[in-house]
Amino acid sequence: MPTLPSSLSPSDPARSPLRASESFLHRRALWGSFAGGCLLIAAASSVFVTLGIVYVLVTESMGFFAQVSLLDFLTDTQWTPVFENAHFGVMTLVSATVTVAGIALAVSIPAGLALAIYLSEYARREVRETVKPCLELLEGVPTVVYGYFTLLFFTPLLQTFIPGLEGFNMLGPGMVMGIMILPYTASVSEDAMRAVPAGLREAGYALGYSRFRVAMRVVVPAAFSGITAAFILGMSRAVGETMVVAIAAGQNPNFSFNPTEGAATITAYIVQMAMGDLPHDSIAYQSVFAAGIVLFVITLTFNLIGFFLRRRFKEVY
Amino acid sequence: MTQKSSHDPNVTPMLPKASAATNTERESLAAEVRKLSFWYGETQALKEITLPIANRKVTALIGPSGCGKSTLLRSFNRMHDLYPGNRYGGEICLFPENHNIIDLDPFMVRLRIGMVFQKPNPFPKSIFENVAAGLRIQGVQNKKLLGDRVEQALRNAALWEEVKDRLSQSAYGLSGGQQQRLCIARALAPQPEILLLDEPTSALDPIATAKVEDLITEIRNRFTVIIVTHNMQQAARISDFTAYMHLGKLIEFAPTGELFTTPQEKLTRDYITGRFG
């Protein structure tokens, strides 16, 4: 059997002049488990907060569903919690939420995709590095500013084109929200497109593809999961957005999908109730939590759809 | 035709002296590089390269890293135009028209000259759609014809038997070697006049490499192939002509057997005997 030269033998103390002491190793192990524990608590806290929110939503709305049947809640077309003859048809609020979010996406998907394709595939580096920070700046504008911008400037502007448009309506807030979520949709999809390897683009060009064809047939499909994530993020944001709709879409629950009418969304209703002083155990108070659960379920559904879409189109470069 | 006469090698006496090819030889050329220079910004990567490309033969470009062989290859389909700051000088003449590739519309050039890259880069589509991609852009719409051409290309790339039952599945389900052969099929499907291979086996294991080499040998009499390779044995095995490049210059060009057995230049000799590289 060949033997190692003695200078390479592992037991040679000369090979490990910096050999650690026992106490150092002990302290290091202790510190390691302490740091690991702290990080675990940090990671677990997000789970606990989510579970806590679900717990509060469910317990508070139990009292509500003890008095209002689920069937009425889902089929009634009026929402009048503080009236003498109270109705709790949550679809009234859902209709407005869906309409506004739908308009926002109808604006944001084409605008966001066009912007992302331009920035990723067409723009020169200097242009991209100027436009992208400006785009991300939109994110920093307080939503209350968007709300008053819609109410005082954008809706009057729209009224000059659309004569029947009410002062409070769903069209204006929806369109402004579409612009408001551009930082999510355009910027995140642009990141996804730029992450597509150059080799894939070159493969397209080498076949004689035009720039536009490379963008549409190669880059967008390859970045599909990232683009989906971008629009799911934007959608969740649009559904959960409060100030713009509370200010500019009105606070009148109205079962309608007509964008020229005003209507209260789920979030607008919740904020309206939060500003009044309702008795703690009244049914109107509990209705806030029931509406909250619906909101929670809607955003959860979108996130799940996004999750499965992403898994299905997961790119393997 | 009369308008093109200035491009016709039979009437114009303005051919560069560097071109040694006679008219009969030129008929058997697919292309000819004439005093081609290339700059990445301020850096000159190619210095007055002159090189004939024989029709329906395999021409190998070898040389140490940074010698400009990939740069030269990527000039043939104008890939450098995708990035700003690049500049060409000189000509690459594409026969039979004798048009200068550097002056043509790059998108038109790429319809005639196919390319396979170092890393397999299939599109995020089905196997069938990957191969059909180049045909669709050439205007092939007839389903029957499309199917036939895809099958033929996959057979040419020695991949048909392995994928014929899963043409509609994603190309990403294939192994690395299969993906590279798929990329070759994608490049072959539109029947390019010249096929450029940029170190096509450098990311593959020995068995996949052997399969790709076999397929190049298989198609060598039907397509004009230019291959860049780091592997001298590969160049010796599969090519008809070999060009040795060094620091942006063409040092030596000869039939492969001659270049490897009786190199005329000291640099070539040193490289192929492994003294540097």
Q: How close is the nearest chain B Cα to the Cα of A202, in Å?
A: 8
Give the span between the Cα atoms of A114 and A108, in whole angstroms.
10
Q: What's B235's DSSP letter?
A: H
Question: Which whole number is the average pLDDT over A281-285?
Answer: 79
Q: What's B57's DSSP letter?
A: S
- Judge contact between B8 and B70, C-beta under 8 A: no
Q: So what's the pLDDT on residue A5?
A: 56
Substitution target in B70, B73, B75, B82 with the highest count of A β-carbons within 10 Å is B82
Does the CB of A199 have a partner CB in chain B at under 8 Å?
A: yes
Give the span between the Cα atoms of B15 and B35, in whole angstroms.
11
Is residue B277 situated within a structural domain? no
Q: So what's the pLDDT on residue A229?
A: 84
Give the span between the Cα atoms of A207 and B39, in whole angstroms.
24
Percent pLDDT > 70 in chain B is: 90
Coil vs helix vs strand at A89 = coil
pLDDT band at A312; cut points 50, 70, 90: low
pLDDT tens by residue, B14-50: 333 334 444 445 458 888 888 888 999 888 888 988 9
Range of the domain at B148: 2-272
pLDDT band at A75; cut points 50, 70, 90: confident
pLDDT tens by residue, A142-190: 989 999 999 999 989 988 888 888 888 889 999 999 999 998 889 889 9
pLDDT band at B13; cut points 50, 70, 90: very low
pLDDT band at B9; cut points 50, 70, 90: very low
B108: chain A residues, CB-CB within 8 Å: 208
pLDDT tens by residue, A237-246: 888 888 888 8
Question: Which whole number is the average pLDDT over A195-211?
Answer: 92
Q: What's B223's DSSP letter?
A: S
Nearest to B119 among A199, A209, A222 (CB): A199
A208: chain B residues, CB-CB within 8 Å: 107-108, 110-111, 134, 137-138
Q: What's A106's DSSP letter?
A: H
pLDDT at A13 over 70: no
CB contact under 8 A, B123 and A316: no
**More confident site: B186 or A86:** B186
Q: What does the mean pLDDT of chain A come to?
A: 84
Q: So what's the pLDDT on residue A177?
A: 92
CATH number assigned to the domain comprising residue B218: 3.40.50.300
- Judge contact between A246 and A31, C-beta under 8 A: no
pLDDT tens by residue, B131-169: 999 899 888 888 899 999 999 999 888 889 899 899 988
Nearest to B79 among A124, A202, A209 (CB): A202
- Tell me, which fold does domain A91-312 have in CATH? MetI-like fold (1.10.3720)
Nearest CA in chain B to A200: B121
Q: What does the mean pLDDT of chain B come to?
A: 85
- Find the range with the poorest average confidence among A6-10, A248-252, A257-261, B210-214: A6-10
Is residue B232 situated within a structural domain? yes
pLDDT band at A116; cut points 50, 70, 90: very high
pLDDT band at A110; cut points 50, 70, 90: very high
pLDDT at B74 over 90: yes
pLDDT at B1 over 80: no
pLDDT band at A136; cut points 50, 70, 90: confident
Q: So what's the pLDDT on residue A288?
A: 87
Q: CB under 8 Å to B192, separation ≥6 — which residues?
A: B112, B113, B114, B223
Substitution target in A120, A202, A207, A218 with the highest count of B β-carbons within 10 Å is A207
AA identity, residue A154: F
Contacts 24+ apart (CB under 8 A), A148-152: A148/A247, A148/A248, A149/A176, A150/A176, A150/A244, A150/A247, A150/A248, A151/A247, A151/A248
Q: So what's the pLDDT on residue A232?
A: 87
Question: Which whole number is the average pLDDT over A298-306?
Answer: 85
Q: How close is the nearest chain B Cα to the Cα of A112, in Å?
A: 22
Please report, for residues A108, A162, A196, the alpha-carbon distance to residue A130 in angstroms, rounded to integers and kept in the order given: 21, 35, 22
Give the span between the Cα atoms of A173 and A169, in whole angstroms.
7
**What residues of B are in the A interface, CB distance below 8 Å?**
77, 79, 82, 84, 107-108, 110-111, 114-115, 117, 119, 121-125, 133-134, 137-138, 172, 183, 186-187, 190
pLDDT at B120 over 80: yes
Question: Which whole number is the average pLDDT over A97-115?
Answer: 92
Percent pLDDT > 90 in chain B is: 34
Residues 108-127 of A with CB under 8 A from B: 124
Q: Which two tokens stand for residue B193?
A: 């006049």
Coil vs helix vs strand at A215 = helix
CB contact under 8 A, A208 and B110: yes
Q: So what's the pLDDT on residue A224?
A: 87
**Percent of residues in chain A assigned helix, strand, coil, to nearest 5:** 75, 0, 25
Q: So what's the pLDDT on residue A7?
A: 52
Give the span between the Cα atoms of A8 and A14, in whole angstroms.
10
pLDDT band at A73; cut points 50, 70, 90: confident
pLDDT tens by residue, B226-237: 999 988 889 999
Give the span between the Cα atoms of A291 and B22, in whole angstroms.
86
pLDDT at B258 over 50: yes
How does DSSP assign A162-202, residue by residue? -TT--SS-SHHHHHHHHHHTHHHHHHHHHHHHHTS-HHHHH
Q: So what's the pLDDT on residue A12?
A: 53
Q: How close is the nearest chain B Cα to the Cα of A130, in Å?
A: 18
Q: How many domains does chain B have?
A: 1
Q: So what's the pLDDT on residue A48?
A: 93
Q: So what's the pLDDT on residue A314?
A: 56
CB contact under 8 A, A218 and B107: no
CB contact under 8 A, A208 and B115: no
How does DSSP assign B144-159, residue by residue? HHHHHHHHHHHHHTT-
- Find the range with the poorest average confidence among A86-95, B20-29, B82-91, B243-252: B20-29
pLDDT at A286 over 60: yes
Is residue B57 situated within a structural domain? yes
B121: chain A residues, CB-CB within 8 Å: 197, 199-200, 202-203
